[in-house]
Chains A and B, each alone.
Chain A
Amino acid sequence: MAALTDLTIAEAGAALEKGDFTARELTDAYLSAMETARGLNAYIEETPERAQAMADASDARRAGGKAEGPLDGIPLAIKDLFCTEGALSTAGSHILEGFRPTYESTVTQNLWDAGAVMLGKVNMDEFAMGSANITSHYGPTLNPWKASSGDNAGKDLVPGGSSGGSAAAVAARIAAGATGTDTGGSIRQPGAFCGIVGLKPTYGRCSRWGVIAFASSLDQAGPIARSVEDSAIMLGGMAGFDPKDSTSVDLPVPDYAAALTGDIRGLRVGVPAEYRMDGTPPEIEALWQQGVAWLRDAGAEIVDISLPHTKYALPAYYIVAPAEASSNLARYDGMRYGLRVEGEDLTDTYERTRAEGFGHEVQRRVMIGTYVLSAGYYDAYYLKAQRVRTRIADDFKAAWDSCDVILTPTTPSAAFALGEKQDDPIAMYLNDIFTVPASMAGLPAISVPAGLSADGLPLGLHLIAPAFGEETLLRAAHVLEGAAGFDVQP
């Protein structure tokens, strides 16, 4: 039998149910793998005692015939953006130094209620702002993959971001699955970089209560897992209406795993002309065409579509998201929790606390956000960006007349080396070029590992579905996954 940590959530769940091993054995296997993989710096805080206690409780439930379902006894990593009771919850930021909430986020509570086991809190870009997991106060997380050739051969690579710790942990087999959050691509891009599946659900599908806010109108929690089936299982455990989040939507949570029928005959797959951008590497373009072919071969109907406002999505995103962030991050003022650097007076204390507590990227976005909301600039920037956002959403609405899902690449490149693009924010922002439009429209989207670059690094394909179309999205992703047959490990 393969190592316990190689099993998918679905496989491990079946084995637990059969009694092949216990949740405690599975958890211990992960805890020991975590110890040997500390060089990746995926975890900010490991919670072994809690993990073992939760695993023991799971075993006790199962022994009593009261196992909760497919997640009972499954060890998960939790992105540090989720508030977890008594466990460090810092958003990867110095300003939340030592912060241990007295409360549990709705999404993690849902997972614990489903019997899942918490292994610890994983690294991320500070306040989820970044595409390389290099802005964390706790240092960069490394991608478990290495390039086999090319300029970056042998170098340390980034896992993507902001959910870089989550993706690295799942890819490195030091978590069976992980929670992530996606604001502009923060689940899907690291999923693609690390060769695993990243799913951003529809805005409103998972509660944001207890998730430290970056950009409230875009933030959405989702699963990072090694298979589409695992993603479906995890989403079922995370999703649901929450009266504590006014933007969460009161719809029943379907059995997502049941949607994976393998049958996409007649499914209309849209291929947007505007995603064919100048400068996209030929291997990305080739993979995209391969994806089209796979879906066509599986019986899907391929439709050429147009999403005319695509090129405005990224600039508009970099107005809306920083604007909301500048306001959301105002609460970190050194008065009630986290870091406080005493100054000569109140204003000085604010300034020192925030100057020391926030890293450069966070400060940059707070300044951009403050600027675009300022008197005299609000109409020209924020209001206009919101109008663009409406146009982008309208583009998708029109597209759904002729297609059921949309296929695009996930990222314009494979994982890059640590230190690359570090001094060029625009180059870094371009990582999200294919993922941001779906975020702006609040649509569900998924990245599926589909092949290797010439240098031997994973590349992802990206599917987008209409709002609350997760079942269709997962069904199509499942077929794509099967056709790609991506079974390479880092």
Chain B
Amino acid sequence: MTDTTDTTADAIPDHLVAHFTSRIGHNSADLIEGETGSWEIVIGMEVHAQVTSESKLFSGAPTDFGGEPNTHVSLVDAAMPGMLPVLNEAAIRQAVRTGLGLEAQINLRSVFDRKNYFYPDLPQGYQISQFSDPIVGEGRITVDLEDGESFEVGVVRIHLEQDAGKSVHDRIPDQTCIDLNRSGVALMEIVSKPDLRSGVEAAAYLSKLRSILRYLGTCDGNMQEGSMRADVNVSVRRPGEDLGTRCEIKNVNSIRFVRQAVDYEARRQVEILEEGGEIDQETRLFDPDRGETRSMRSKEEAHDYRYFPDPDLLPVVIDQAYVDEIAASLPELPDKKAARFVAEFGLSEYDAGVLVAERETAEFYEAVVDAGGAKRDPKIAANWITGDFFRRLNADDLEITASPVSAAQLGGLIDLIADGTISGKIAKDVFDEMWDSGNDADANRRGKGPQADQRQR
């Protein structure tokens, strides 16, 4: 559990409290029509993304998921007396890389602070985080909706912080066990402006953010393993009026749940307001089994985290050359890649968007198009991937990296169609054979033997 409830409001710098939002929802269908009129949903998100790195933020312990409990724990992670944190430079590099990928301000000087609270899965009694001087400042993400519309979401900041350990309640009856494997793992907290206006938009934002992080290689985006979790701040207001009181839904760990949680929470708030009630500022949890949010902690119980600069660590000072060097190593990100697919390959924006959503898919597609110097027909390649190829992947519930048909093999099949060896219709059968056997198109065609040849004749 990572606890990120804000301190009491008056302790928080202005830039953290009232995130200015100028965005007006583009789609009137996003409004909730209540009995007393329509309501606009306002959503801001804090996404915790585990930094892809070999070791933890301040210790040399490994970050691998799924080890036996308490096997990836250094003396520092267990907060033994006299232990000191030493910053893992790789985490700084990854945060800067992420910032650059989100077109954000990189702060050449940042500071690690202590956020103090007691919890058994927090061995130090404080989380080392960044409060007033984060490593990354304002940036932005272009979010695409299914209907082809795009909009921009402001990023307020990205800061680095330690993950906490895990409380395990079901291992020994009446006791709670603590697994510190995650304790001290580096997280990036990516804070958005409250620029989102519906559950669909919130889900699309998270999806796009995940895609960019995976392109950058700074977070594996594996939500099942907890590599990405979202705290979703939801409030409702009359369109054009001031922001309403928000509730924070903690640790939502799937894109689908984000949409469900927002939809439920917004309706809950509208119901309360329409009955003349008030929204309590509180922390809530989303229960995916019941599809509802429930109160976890009210503002009265909120912690005073007593932030102060960690005296065990020096301020992080980087220079512009360091940032420039990282900038030079950035891969082509999905927006640019999609634009190129449209311009260079003549794909529709929709197809380009589908192909670039996952870095692996885009790479697979480009490998299919690339016939070793020559170029296969990019539209046919796109049709094959978004058609039969995706159909089989989904049917077998496989990641693209586990596909039994490689990009070269799919390219080989397209070649056979292109040179007239087989028809497009037969190619579909050949593809299924390839999928099941793992053989090349040539072999499968021969395997089909006379039948295929007859049809060809």
Contact = CB atoms under 8 A, between A and B. Distances in A.
Contacts of B308: 323, 327, 373, 378, 382
A213 B307 CA distance: 18
In this complex, the member of B82, B126, B178 whose beta carbon has the largest number of chain A beta carbons within 10 angstroms is B82
A323 B79 CA distance: 18
B168 interface: no
Contacts of B124: 330-331
Given A327-B306, A378-B11, A101 B116 contact: no
Contact of A373 (B84, B85, B306, B314): B306
A102 B73 CA distance: 14
Contacts of B313: 246-247
Contact of A209 (B79, B82, B120): B82
Nearest to B121: A335
Contacts, number: 103
Nearest to A383: B308
In this complex, the member of B7, B116, B311 whose beta carbon has the largest number of chain A beta carbons within 10 angstroms is B311
B125 A209 contact: no
A336 B123 contact: yes
Interface string A418-445: 0000000000000000000000000000
Contact of B11 (A326, A337, A376): A376
Given A376-B11, A378-B308, A330 B126 contact: yes
A246 B83 CA distance: 11
B193 to A, nearest CB: 24
Interface in B86-122: 86-87, 114, 116, 118, 120
Contacts of B84: 208-209, 244-246
A370 interface: yes
Contacts of A350: 118
B81 A99 contact: yes
A336 B78 contact: yes
A324 interface: yes
Contacts of A378: 11, 306-308
Interface string A298-327: 000000000000000000000000011011
A374 B114 CA distance: 13
Contacts of B75: 102-103
B13 to A, nearest CB: 11
Given A96-B81, A374-B306, A376-B11, A246 B120 contact: no
A152 interface: no
A244 B83 CA distance: 9
Given A208-B84, A209-B84, A331-B125, A247 B306 contact: no
B18 interface: no
Given A217-B311, A323-B308, A346-B120, A376 B10 contact: yes
A324 B85 CA distance: 15
A446 interface: no
Interface residues of B, number: 32
Contacts of B304: 374-375
Given A216-B312, A246-B313, A333 B118 contact: yes
A210 B86 CA distance: 13
Nearest to B86: A246
A244 B85 CA distance: 8
A217 B118 CA distance: 22
B8 interface: yes
B272 interface: no
Given A323-B308, A375-B304, A376-B10, A331 B86 contact: no
Contacts of A329: 125
B80 interface: yes
Nearest to A95: B81
Interface string A80-107: 0011000001010000100101110100
B80 A103 contact: yes
B114 A327 contact: yes
Contacts of A374: 304, 306
Contacts of A170: none
A327 B312 contact: no
Contact of A212 (B8, B11, B82): B82
Interface in B265-309: 304, 306-308
A333 B120 contact: yes
A327 B118 contact: no
A211 interface: yes
A211 B123 contact: no
A243 B84 CA distance: 10
A458 to B, nearest CB: 32
In this complex, the member of B125, B178, B306 whose beta carbon has the largest number of chain A beta carbons within 10 angstroms is B306
Nearest to A334: B120
B86 A243 contact: yes
A8 B169 CA distance: 59
B379 to A, nearest CB: 56
Contacts of A370: 306
- 5 closest cross-chain pairs (CB), A and B: A330-B125, A375-B11, A373-B306, A217-B311, A216-B311
Interface of B: 7-8, 10-11, 75, 78-87, 114, 116, 118, 120, 123-126, 178, 304, 306-308, 311-314
11 contacts: A212-B82, A213-B312, A217-B311, A245-B84, A246-B84, A246-B85, A324-B311, A330-B118, A330-B125, A335-B178, A373-B308
Given A210-B83, A247-B312, A375-B11, 18 more contacts: A83-B82, A89-B81, A96-B81, A101-B80, A105-B82, A209-B84, A213-B312, A217-B311, A245-B84, A247-B311, A323-B308, A331-B123, A331-B125, A335-B178, A336-B79, A336-B80, A346-B120, A373-B307
Interface of A: 82-83, 89, 91, 96, 99, 101-103, 105, 208-213, 215-217, 243-247, 323-324, 326-327, 329-331, 333, 335-337, 346, 350, 370, 373-376, 378, 382
